Amino acid sequence: MTDVKEETVDASDIHDSPASGTKNGRTSLLESGEDFEVLDDEDIGDEPPPLEDTGGGKGKKTDEPLKQKSDTDLESPGPAEEWLDVLGNGQLKKKVLVAGGGRNSRPQKGQNVKINLKTYLKDGTLVEDQPDLCFTLGDGDVIQALDLAVQLMDMGEKALIQTDAKYAYGAEGSHEPEVPPSVELSLEVELLEATDAPDVELMPPEERIALASHKRERGNVHYQRGDYAFAVNSYSIALQITESNSKVDISPEEENELMDVKVKCLNNMAASQLKLDHYDAALKSCVLALAHQPDNIKALFRMGKVQALQSEYTEAIQTLRKALKLEPSNKTIHAELSKLVKKHSEQRGAEQAMYKKMLGNPTSSSGTNQKRQAKSAWGFNWKWLFGATAVAIGGVALSVVIAARN
């Protein structure tokens, strides 16, 4: 049995895809059995210095061009017109080393591209060499610096890209490639080809399942690094793949595999949306997951969390009790349910006190009024009895006087 935790996804489910060449060795934040559970937008103050041309002539390639540069060379910017400030903030720059086939040959977002990639640290250390790296442009399959800069490259172009950690591996760094936290990188990129993505509806089922799983894994990587919006984007792409109609034969077993990937994506998307405080969207993701798997523990747990955050305590308690009934030994659900019941009880007590104050303590007032009415009634009866007695005595005395006169 695996505890369901608010901030976790299966450790085996969180890793960089083979296509991206990036793997994160951190332990899972969401130890939830099937899924886990990415960059801070804090700007780095210093603008990264541009690097000198490392080409050494057209078409010439060397494995460690930056290591031959001195510290002074690394800090000396080239002519301003040689560098393109991609985002206008000085943190992502591109310089053409070898010209390509012109603007009309640039790849389009959504196409599959193939590149040669070499990744260097700021000091010139080569940390990764990936020939023939393939990825879908704009899908978040690679670091943001590549996704953004390759869209501005001509076919056949070779370029040098300098990026702040914010658009690379961020404050967490990476284990594969081995990149320290919060470091600037230089990427040497050559654009080899761009082709249209295949029609998902015509894909063989096994390829479709593999593609959807790959996009989901990329979402896990983004989540692990704190890029929750990028994670949602990757999960959305994976969901579109699982939900596309198939124009080829698909077996019941393969349909079940696609459904399993879909539910995992919905669960992980709900976790990301919770991180973004998008409670309505997270609730919708949970509802969709439960529509396919009504007894999914993680979907029930996250739905209960969303309902609690929306102050729907009664509904949240019912949802978590259902989850606990399915997995009675789950300590995480026990703890969350106990905390929620206590909070709900305190809220009800506060509401009752408020109502009493608003109504002016109606119980005490009612008792006082009843006493006053009883006292008033007793006072009226006593006066009536006293008057009747006086009249009777007066009547007797009058009778005695009349009789004496007679």
pLDDT (tens digit per residue) in 343-363: 877 776 666 667 777 776 555
271 against 76, higher pLDDT? 271
Selection from 24, 5, 11 nearest residue 221 by Cα: 24
The yes-or-no verdict on residue 102 having pLDDT over 90 is: yes
Tokens of 245: 């109609």
The C-alpha atoms of residue 158 and residue 56 are separated, in whole angstroms, by: 12
pLDDT for res 385: 54
For the four alpha carbons of 191, 195, 200 and 203, in that order, the dihedral sign comes to: negative
Q: What pTM did the predictor assign?
A: 0.68
Share of the chain above pLDDT 90, in %: 61
Torsion of CA 377, 381, 387, 388, to 10 degrees: 150
Write down all domains in the chain, each with its CATH number in brackets.
52-197 (3.10.50.40), 201-347 (1.25.40.10)
The yes-or-no verdict on residue 56 having pLDDT over 50 is: no
pLDDT for res 345: 78
The model's confidence at residue 393, banded by pLDDT at 50, 70 and 90, is low
Tokens of 121: 């640290």
Average pLDDT over residues 147-170: 96
The model's confidence at residue 24, banded by pLDDT at 50, 70 and 90, is very low
The model's confidence at residue 182, banded by pLDDT at 50, 70 and 90, is very high
| Weakest mean pLDDT among 8-17, 53-62, 246-255, 321-330 | 53-62
The yes-or-no verdict on residue 42 having pLDDT over 90 is: no
Tokens of 65: 């061009």
Strand order in the sheet with 92-98: 83-85, 92-98, 158-163, 185-195, 112-121, 126-136
